[in-house]
Structure formats: C-alpha cells, structure tokens
Homo-oligomer: A and B are copies of this chain.
Amino acid sequence: MRRTSLNEADCPIARALDAVGDWWSLLIVRDAMFGLRRFGEFQKSLGMAKNILTARLRGLVAAGILDAVPNGAHNDYVLTRKGRDLFTVLVALRQWGETHQFPEGACPVELLDRENRQPVGALELRAADGRRLSADDTMIRLRN
C-alpha cells in the first residue's frame, strides 16, 4: 500500500476497528456465526464477565452488527447482513493465525468446504484481470 494523507475518520480500516476493534467483539461475532444466540451461550463459550458481555452485545447491536430479537423473556442475538459480512475478516484472521500463531501443521482446527470436506482456499486479493496482488502492488487514493 502507498500512503496518502488522510484523516483517521476517513480510513475504512480505522472505521472498521471502531466497530469491531476489540478481542471480545470479534469472538462474539465468531460464536454468532457458529449459531450461538443466547446471552448464556455466549457467556459459557467465552467465559466473559457478565457486565463486559452485556456491554459488548449492546455495542454490537448499536453498531448494526447484531439484532436483538425478543424470544420469550430474553433476547436472541442474531447477526445482521453487516455482521455476516464480517466472515471474510474472521477467515483472514483465522488463516493468519493458523500460519503464524501455531507451529507448522499444529493448528488443531481446520476450516472446510461443507460440500466435500476439503480445506478451503487461502483468501487472495486479485486485480480486475485476476493477477494476485500483494501490499506492494497496491496504493490508496483519495476519491475526488
């Protein structure tokens, strides 16, 4: 990437991190993608203090990432389209973590294609004509 002068508020990475830039929020989104919906399910999965979980769920609802859907006496927390679109962010973190946060071949879980139980491909950034792009092949530009 090549730098262009910009305000932090103009940077989509900074804005994304405003919404999901803490450990717990992305793990809640991960668990919601696994199908968890109830406060108690998240609490059990993540082992978080209840007051912190309450605050994070509220933040994710305020950010439009989760919907709070009344279900009897409680709410279910369900990913919105915006929340489901974080799948790519989670896969990028997963693939980086597999490669760099475990010894080679030692990551105990793998992400598979459900249809044939084969490993998924690596996320790749491509040009319009299909060339694979690294950071050095890209630049950012201010729109007019």
Classify the secondary structure of A's interface with B.
mixed
A97 at the interface (CB under 8 A from B): yes
8 A Cβ contacts from A82-120 to B:
82, 84-102, 107-120
Contact of A16 among B21, B87, B101 (CB under 8 A): B101
With CB as the reference atom, state the residue of chain B lying closest to A135.
Answer: B87
Residue A70 at the chain B interface, CB threshold 8 Å: no
Given contacts A21-B26, A26-B13, contact A139 B126 (CB under 8 A): no
Which residues of A are in contact with B by a Cβ distance under 8 Å? 1-4, 6, 8, 10-23, 26-27, 30-31, 33-36, 46-47, 64, 82, 84-102, 107-121, 123-128, 131, 133-143
